[in-house]
Amino acid sequence: MALSRIPTCFATCSIGNRPEHTLRRRLDAIALAGFSSIELAFPDLVAFATQHLQRQVAEDDYDALCIAGELVAILCKERGLRILVLQPFANFEGWPQGSEKRRKAFDKAKGWIRVMKALKTDMLQVGSSDSPDIVTSSDYIASDLTELAALLAEHKFYLAYENWCWSTHAPSWKHVWHIVQKVNLPNVGLCLDTFQIAGSEWADPTTRSGLIEDVPKETLQKEFMRGLEQLSTTIPKEKIYFLQISDAYKPTKPLSKEVDENGLKPRGRWSHDYRPRPYDGGYLPVVDVTKAVLKTGFRGHFSMEVFDNGPDGSGKEYDLNEFAMLAMESHKRLLEDCSEL
């Protein structure tokens, strides 16, 4: 398939930074720019439900969220948008057997599955947990994901597992691929991400260079490219469910190595605030990562997932429609830069 025919997607959490940037307006901007799908962020659904039902809707009020979800599905259909995935299902796996947190995690999973049915989407994105209190054994993690996959399979739903580069147990693509292989189920695959891959194995927001400084720069680059070659030759294309696209700013001042007041590690803070679209001031090897994923034969959705609060992470103002249009331009330019594989 020609690269120009790769389907496009935009995460709803990645556009809009003011109260008036409602979900309806975000969907309008995404559709106008020519994207064909969305990643629906759960907090955006909660906010939409609160506005639509004219009362405060809690994140576990699944009756209300299903009512709102049915309307969101209609709004997307009217705009020619598919809801590719519901995200981010976080801190699910690894809680000790018999613990209250494990029970709540599975109750939450069942609630989200109800919401997925209302939205008419068939994929759940699960980010590798960053909780410090979990069991980190890959066998234990795989067992939890196997149970979740079974719940999803009852509805013919899929689980897309993503490495978060500040995760407690699976910060790299190799870690999550190892776990997905252990699960070994037809409805469990990967969500790969240009930021998360480069952010775990190449970049470091706590250093002045913005790079991992444990090894010489030349060695770092060789090892990173060797890792990308391994990705290209070991992951079957059908096990990649979608690819998230973003770059990252090198912080104007290196981030503190300490965990913040919310328990978030530096790479987590970096991820939340310093992620522009490609070709807009970032420094990650986005093209190299994208080429590696394409070399697997993958031609599925490219999804723009950015969190752009500017180079200092303090905030950034922009017009919704222009922001979405520029993201589409970045998508097209990225495909051009990847055309010679």
Total domains present in the chain: 1
CB atoms inside a 10 Å sphere around CB 17: 14
What is the predicted pLDDT for the residue at 83? 99
What is the average pLDDT across 214-222?
97
Number of residues that this document lists for the chain: 341
As a whole-number percent, the residues of the chain with pLDDT over 70 amount to 100
Residue 1: pLDDT band (50, 70, 90) is confident
Which range marks the domain in which residue 54 is found?
Answer: 3-337
Mean pLDDT score of the chain:
97
What is the predicted pLDDT for the residue at 2? 85
Residue 218: pLDDT band (50, 70, 90) is very high
Q: What is the dihedral of CA 189, 301, 331, 34, to 10 degrees?
A: -150
pLDDT digits (tens, 9 = 90+) for 26-73: 999 999 999 999 999 999 999 999 999 999 999 999 999 999 999 999
Q: Do the Cβ atoms of 301 and 335 come closer than 8 Å?
A: no
CA distances from 95 to 107, 131, 161, 212, 265 (A): 13, 9, 17, 30, 20
pLDDT digits (tens, 9 = 90+) for 176-196: 999 999 999 999 999 999 999
Amino acid symbol at 76:
C
Residue 315: pLDDT band (50, 70, 90) is confident
Name 216's Cβ contacts closer than 8 Å, sequence gap at least 6: none
Is the pTM value of this prediction over 0.75? yes
What is the predicted pLDDT for the residue at 20? 87
What CATH number is given to the structural domain containing 272? 3.20.20.150
Tokens matching residue 317: 């103002």
Residue 262: pLDDT band (50, 70, 90) is confident
Separation between Cα atoms, residue 152 and residue 23, nearest integer Å:
26
What is the predicted pLDDT for the residue at 340? 75
What is the predicted pLDDT for the residue at 314? 86
pLDDT digits (tens, 9 = 90+) for 276-295: 999 999 999 999 999 999 99
CA distances from 156 to 124, 153, 159, 189, 279 (A): 11, 5, 10, 14, 38
What is the predicted pLDDT for the residue at 332? 98
What is the predicted pLDDT for the residue at 256? 96
pLDDT digits (tens, 9 = 90+) for 102-154: 999 999 999 999 999 999 999 999 999 999 999 999 999 999 999 999 999 99
Name 68's Cβ contacts closer than 8 Å, sequence gap at least 6: 45, 48, 49, 52, 53, 57
Separation between Cα atoms, residue 323 and residue 326, nearest integer Å:
5
Residue 207 has pLDDT above 80, yes or no: yes
Residue 341 has pLDDT above 70, yes or no: no
Residue 158: pLDDT band (50, 70, 90) is very high
